[in-house]
Amino acid sequence: MFSESEFGSGEGTIYKLERKSTLGKSLPFGNIKAKNRKATAKEASLKFIRKLEESESRGVWAGFVVNFRATNQTFMVLASKVACFMVCTDRESIPIAWFEENAILIKQTLIQVRYKYDLEWL
């Protein structure tokens, strides 16, 4: 699922966030915006992350909000930290343990949405 948000906090900080959700206990590099079909998932993802890093140099808090549905945890991490991990590893995903050490744990609330269908007209 891809969704990018850019907004101000009202205190002068601007955020550019890529939101991700995964069922597993790691975030596969292929889940990070990778449209280049000729490159590996890691190469294409790293190219996208480098663009986010450019925003950091202009004073924008650019990074990821990653939800791990298996553990009901959500983390916020800078794009530059993710890029450093990707460059220094042979893995094809970022484990939740890395997020626990390098990211900010975000308080979350699980909201259930249910629908009621009116089928009496059938």
Q: Which CATH class is domain 4-106?
A: alpha beta
pLDDT at residue number 97: 97
Residue carrying structure tokens 């900080």: 13
Chain mean position to CA 98: 13
Q: Which of 33, 26, 34 is nearest to 4 (CA)?
A: 33
Residue 27 pLDDT grade (very low, low, confident, very high; cuts 50, 70, 90): very high
Domain-wise residue ranges, the chain: 4-106
For residue 100, the SS3 value is helix
Q: Give the tens place of pLDDT for each residue, 33-76.
A: 756 566 677 777 877 788 787 777 788 888 899 999 999 999 99
Residues whose CB is less than 8 angstroms from the CB of residue 42 and which lie 6 or more positions away in sequence, other chains included: 29, 86, 92
Whole-angstrom distance, CA of residue 103 vs CA of residue 76: 6
Q: Which residue has the higher pLDDT, 3 or 18?
A: 18
- What pLDDT is attached to residue 6? 44
pTM value? 0.73
pLDDT of residue 32: 81
- Name the token pair of 16: 């550019």
CA distance 16 to 73: 20
Q: How do 104-106 and 60-68 pair as beta strands?
A: unpaired
**Where residue 1 falls among pLDDT bands split at 50, 70, 90?**
very low
Are 46 and 86 in contact by the 8 Å Cβ rule? The answer is: yes
Average pLDDT over residues 14-18: 86
